[in-house]
Structure 1
Amino acid sequence: MKMETSAKLYSLNYSNVKTYLFALLFVAGNIALPQLCHLVPFGGPTLLPLYFFTLIASYKYGFRVGLLTAILSPVINHLLFAMPAAAVLPAILIKSTLLAGTAAIAARTVKSVSLLAVLGVVLSYQIIGTAFEWILVGDFYVAAQDFRMGIPGMLIQWFGGYALLKAIAKL
C-alpha cells in the first residue's frame, strides 16, 4: 500500500472567486455531515464531524479556503441548529483554526497526500487545541473530551481524510 500520493495542492488567494466557491462547498459539507452524525447517540462528540471538511479544504486548497471553512462552519451550524452550543463555540473555533493552519502547513511542506502527514495534522490540532480549551474552561477533564470520546472521529479524519484527499489528488 502506497502511503504517499503526489497531488495537485493549491493555495488560493482571497481575491480569487474559487476561494469562496470551494469554501462554500466545504462549509456545506460541514453542515450536512454533523446533521447525519447527530442521528447517532453522541455522534457529534464521538465522530467529530465538524472538522472533517476543514481538513480537506485546508490540505487541498490552502489556508485561506481552510480558514473560511474553519470559521464559517461552526458559526453557521450554531446559528442554524444551536450546535455546537455557545459555551463550546470558542474552543471549537480555536481547534478549527488550528486545523486549517496545520493542514495547510503540512500540505505545503510534504507536497503530497501522506498518511503520516494527515496523522500529524490531526494530532497537532487536537493536542494544541486541547491545551487552549483547558485554558478557556479551566478543567482538563472537560478539555480532553475529544481524547476521551472522539478517538473514532480522529480515526475517521485520519483515514477518511487521507482516502478523500487521495481520491481528489489529481483534481
Structure 2
Amino acid sequence: METTTLKLYSLSYRSAKTYLAASLFIVGNVLLPQLCHLIPNGGMTLLPIYFFTLVGSYKYGWKAGLLIAIFSPLVNSALFGMPMPAVLPAILLKSVLLAGIAGIAAKRFQRISLPILALVVLSYQLIGTLGEWFLSGSFFLAIQDFRIGIPGMLLQIIGGFLIIKHILKE
C-alpha cells in the first residue's frame, strides 16, 4: 500500500493564506458540482460538494476546511439553488464533519494514503448519516449516500489522494 509523506499545513484564521486557500477550494466546490450536474443524478451519485472540502481540509487543516465546508454549500445554494435549502442542514453537517475529520487525520498521521482517506470518508459518512437520520427522521433518506453515492466516495478517496499527492505536494 502506497503511503506518501508530504508537507501539510495547519493554517490559522489570522493568516491571509487561510482565506486564499479556502477561497480557491470553495471555487472548486462550486465548479465541480456544476459539471457533475450535467450528468443525470450526477450530484447525488458523485457527491461533488465534498471533494474539495476533503482536499483542502487534509492539506491546509481543519480551520481552512471549516471555511470551505460552510461556504461551499451556502454559495452553491445561493447561486444555483443546489443543494436545495431543505437539505442544506444535512450537507452542512457532513461537510463540517469531513473538514474536522480530515484535518485531524492529516495532523495525526502526517502522511497521505488511500486507507487513511478511506477512513476519513467512511467516518464522516457514517457519523453524518446518523445526523441526517436525526434531522430528517427518514432512515431511507439518510442512507442515500450509501445507496447511490459510492462512486462519489470512491472519487473522494482516489481523486483526493491523487490531487493531494501529485498536485499539492508543496
> Shorter chain as normaliser: what TM range?
over 0.9
- Poorly superposed stretches of 4+, deviation over 6 Å: none
Note the 1:1-171 alignment, pairs <5 A. 3-171=2-170
Amino acid at match of 2:165: K
TM-score, normalization by structure 2: 0.98
- Per the TM alignment, residue 114 of structure 1 is displaced from its structure 2 partner at its CA by 1.4
Cα displacement string for residues 89-121 of structure 1 (whole angstroms, at most 9, x for unaligned residues): 000000000000000011011100111110000
- Preserved CA contact (<8 Å) 1:113 1:169: no
Amino acid at match of 1:136: L
Cα displacement string for residues 15-54 of structure 1 (whole angstroms, at most 9, x for unaligned residues): 0000000000000000000000000000000000000000
Amino acid at match of 1:102: I
CA distance, structure 2, for counterparts of residue 7 and residue 115 of structure 1 = 14
CA distance, structure 2, for counterparts of residue 169 and residue 53 of structure 1 = 12
SS at match of 2:4: strand
Distance 1:96 1:139, change over 3 A: same
Runs of 5+ consecutive residues of structure 1 not aligned to the other structure:
none
SS at match of 1:170: coil
Amino acid at match of 2:164: L
Amino acid at match of 1:75: L
CA distance, structure 1, for counterparts of residue 38 and residue 169 of structure 2 = 33
CA distance, structure 2, for counterparts of residue 87 and residue 129 of structure 1 = 16
Amino acid at match of 1:97: V
SS at match of 1:83: coil
CA distance, structure 1, for counterparts of residue 133 and residue 156 of structure 2 = 22
Cα displacement string for residues 72-93 of structure 1 (whole angstroms, at most 9, x for unaligned residues): 0000000000000011000000
The Cα RMSD (Å) is 0.8
